[in-house]
Chain A
């Protein structure tokens, strides 16, 4: 029976190939456009560490001075996203979280000991050892540093695969030494390609090239040439060197904790509030208790990582898909109506309503499937164009493969997206096809036979 239906469908398509091509083209363009928009959105909106979404938390303390009437920030209810150094250091001491990591990032020159080599200006992240286990960072060679390295027992560094290849070539560089911002560090580990997008742990650099060096936080004091974006709410000034930041009341340090159970979360929450209360009593914190532990998705949302621009584009693309579906509905209606005499003849010869309807539905599904395939092709083409456009606009091809990785994933069609587009085309085909098929099935056969 299915075979018979398919044969009828193909004959009907052949009879009016122009309309068939139009239908396929319209749905395909609609699907292609939506898939491109959704992919771009998905890359930005995606949670790159969804499997740990409910155990990783960004720690925020409301250390701001009493509100000033001219507070112009968009979300005055949010506590500052970074911490004052002395608070961060105190909170980091807590034994409640399974893991915790302090972090800071700064660009600095990195090179080898060979005086002839040109240093590169790369981002270095000062952090603590739990960073690697918390965020499931894959190692290519070597390993993370030890607890005693956290306290400064040796000057070690973990570097990215990209930096390792740039400095030492495609070899295992563990044991080599490099110079970062005037200090010598021994390579202890090399991480494999790791480009979580958006870079959830540092949303300020959510779509920027990856971190290339990871250095024990301890060494922030000796790396005196690095500059950090510190802001002092009390004096409304910014301060940038660690020497001045460390004793100040300026915010600049990030803190992430891993809390693996509800009990742990509650205990830590209590600890945080107690700490803030102590500071209130000491008159350091002037605002009512407003501490937050944001999980990854909340954190991304607070930082507005997904541009409203891409939301807008997705909405537009979906409206466009709706227009395409309406269009196809009209086309199918016209197509089926022009083939109605044949359907009437079939009915007269004994085909039931269900038969006629099914035959037309099969035709719709065939058209929908072709349109879906063409649509995915169009989406791939569109995404490739986006990538070309990205590089063409950024003027900086290929210096950093991580930059390429950003472009790559911005325009990468993964299995999930293909599934979405197949789903979309099925839905589109059904939405456009059910009514015409039902209508043609319902017609009294005599209506058509009369004219002949």
Chain B
């Protein structure tokens, strides 16, 4: 009965270890994905107009001039939403007017110098020009005007046109409504808008940057500073912003690095929770294996003594106990492999993940084997040190 229990424990532990390792590795991959943004040197500030005297267009124009002239600022632009959050605008675009091949994308309205502000790398074409930046018509979706110049990410260019080169000069259609097309003038290498898939989507790196002044009354600015100047400029801007234009107030301000880290918080938290659980599992199982070996050695001290007395070496005894443990672990591993695969199948349906890669199965096998040997080592060594004389003693 004892060995059976242990084998069952080992099998269940393997199920947990393999699957948890897989899920954690996915979470970590999500949180460490490169963003293409100069995260460390960007902050955002959002203000909101109050009162009838507030005008979004004049405010934004004035603020941008002020921000871009601040010493230490590399570039600043107004934007419709904050990158690295989940509130970007989703829309559907196509490379052909009939919408045969369509992609769900995230869309950001941004004023000129957006590429410099975000720290993106332009790999084809050029940025949109200042005179193409028009006020976004209030309320309507994308704010894309006919024939307007837009910049897209290489991921989107590749999906729609095959390559970055092919995308330049092509029309990008924004809806099946007639005439809603823009012209692609530039392609940026990479922009990861959010750390991982938004629920039900997979397009966080297929992005369109549209030249527009977002409609009010909220005005959101992204500011990129020289390295080391961020916090200093951030607090200066907060201090001066409201007095510059009293008919608005500052809503919120944060460094983009903090925003990005918050967006990754849930993934990181779940990785930590799962890792803690896995370590509990491993220690409890090792405890079980240790206990079993220790019990076996204690209750069979006389047997060991006898074996030693008739010629078994210490190594023989050590081998005997390690082998017993190894057999139990192996039985557990065999059953565990089957269970792991079955569980992984359920898991991939529940969490919508690709199938468990074999490396996690093999890795957890190796881990359980090693843990089993390690747990049995101390009791087995104790057994090996039982003197042959024990056999002659009365119980």
Contact = CB atoms under 8 A, between A and B. Distances in A.
Contacts of B350: 308, 311-312
Q: What bracket does the count of chain B residues touching chain A fall in?
A: 35 or more
Given A70-B102, A334-B291, A239 B262 contact: no
Interface in B256-277: 258, 261-262, 265, 268-270, 272-274, 277
Contacts of A123: none
Contacts of A327: 5, 9, 284-285, 287-288, 291
A327 B288 CA distance: 6
A121 B252 CA distance: 9
B140 A244 contact: yes
Contact of A33 (B48, B280, B295): B280
Main secondary structure of the interface of A (DSSP, over half): helix
* Residue of B139, B295, B299, B352 ringed by the most chain A CB atoms within 10 A: B139
* Residue of A22, A238, A390 ringed by the most chain B CB atoms within 10 A: A238
A236 B144 CA distance: 14
Interface stretch (B11-19, B32-40, B110-118, B368-376): B11-19
Contacts of A239: 139-141
21 contacts: A29-B284, A119-B249, A235-B175, A235-B176, A238-B91, A241-B138, A319-B15, A320-B284, A323-B285, A327-B9, A327-B284, A327-B287, A331-B288, A333-B2, A337-B299, A338-B295, A338-B298, A393-B262, A393-B268, A395-B258, A439-B1
Contacts of B287: 22, 26, 327
Contacts of B6: 326, 330
B153 interface: no
A29 B139 contact: no
A395 B255 CA distance: 12
B251 A330 contact: no
Nearest to A389: B269
A96 interface: no
* Residue of B20, B50, B200, B265 ringed by the most chain A CB atoms within 10 A: B50
Contacts of A225: 216-217
A237 B284 contact: no
A173 to B, nearest CB: 21
- In the A-B complex, the 5 residue pairs with the smallest Cβ-Cβ separation, listed nearest first, are A241-B139, A393-B265, A237-B141, A327-B288, A238-B141
A323 B20 contact: no
Given A333-B1, A394-B262, A243 B139 contact: yes
B281 A320 contact: yes
A243 B138 CA distance: 10
B364 interface: no
B2 A238 contact: no
A93 interface: no
Contacts of A334: 2, 291-292, 295
A324 B284 contact: yes
Contacts of A29: 280, 284
Contact of A323 (B12, B199, B270, B298): B12
A337 B299 CA distance: 10
A304 B12 CA distance: 29
A86 B20 CA distance: 49
B338 to A, nearest CB: 15
Nearest to A311: B350
B347 A26 contact: no
Nearest to A309: B270
Given A119-B249, A121-B251, A240-B139, A393 B269 contact: yes
Contacts of B198: none
B142 interface: yes
A349 interface: no
A72 interface: yes
Contacts of A319: 12, 15-16
A182 interface: yes
Contacts of A390: 269
A338 B300 CA distance: 12
Contacts of B258: 395
A451 interface: yes
Contact of B5 (A109, A243, A330): A330
Given A121-B251, A390-B269, 14 more contacts: A29-B280, A109-B217, A225-B217, A237-B140, A237-B141, A309-B270, A309-B351, A326-B6, A330-B6, A334-B291, A338-B295, A393-B265, A435-B1, A439-B1
Interface in B97-142: 99, 102, 104, 138-142
B8 interface: yes
A348 interface: no
B25 interface: no
B188 interface: no
B8 A74 contact: no
Nearest to A121: B251
Given A308-B351, A309-B351, A389-B269, A323 B2 contact: no
Interface in A214-236: 225, 227, 235-236
A316 interface: yes
Contacts of B15: 319
B228 interface: no
Contacts of A435: 1
Nearest to A118: B249
Interface of B: 1-2, 5-6, 8-9, 12-13, 15-16, 19-20, 23, 48, 50-52, 89-92, 99, 102, 104, 138-142, 174-177, 199-200, 216-217, 249, 251-252, 258, 261-262, 265, 268-270, 272-274, 277, 280-281, 284-285, 287-288, 291-292, 295, 298-299, 347, 350-352, 395
A241 B139 CA distance: 5
A73 interface: yes
A109 B48 contact: yes
Contacts of B252: 121
Contacts of A413: none
A317 interface: yes
Contacts of A74: 200
Contact of A182 (B16, B52, B104, B251): B52
Given A237-B175, A240-B139, A330-B6, A394 B280 contact: no
Contacts of A389: 269, 272
A70 B99 CA distance: 10
A72 B105 CA distance: 13
Interface in A98-127: 109, 111, 118-119, 121
Given A225-B217, A238-B89, A334-B295, A312 B347 contact: yes
Interface in A349-363: none
Given A238-B91, A319-B16, A326 B351 contact: no
A109 B5 CA distance: 63
B142 A237 contact: yes
A309 B217 CA distance: 37
B5 A320 contact: no
A424 to B, nearest CB: 16
Given A22-B287, A316-B277, A333-B1, A451 B141 contact: no
Interface in A382-417: 389-390, 393-395
A237 B352 CA distance: 28
A213 interface: no
B351 A312 contact: yes
A227 B216 CA distance: 10
Contact of B92 (A236, A309, A320): A236
A323 B13 contact: yes
A320 B9 CA distance: 9
A393 B262 CA distance: 6
A322 B139 contact: no
Contacts of A316: 16, 19-20, 274, 277
B140 A236 contact: no
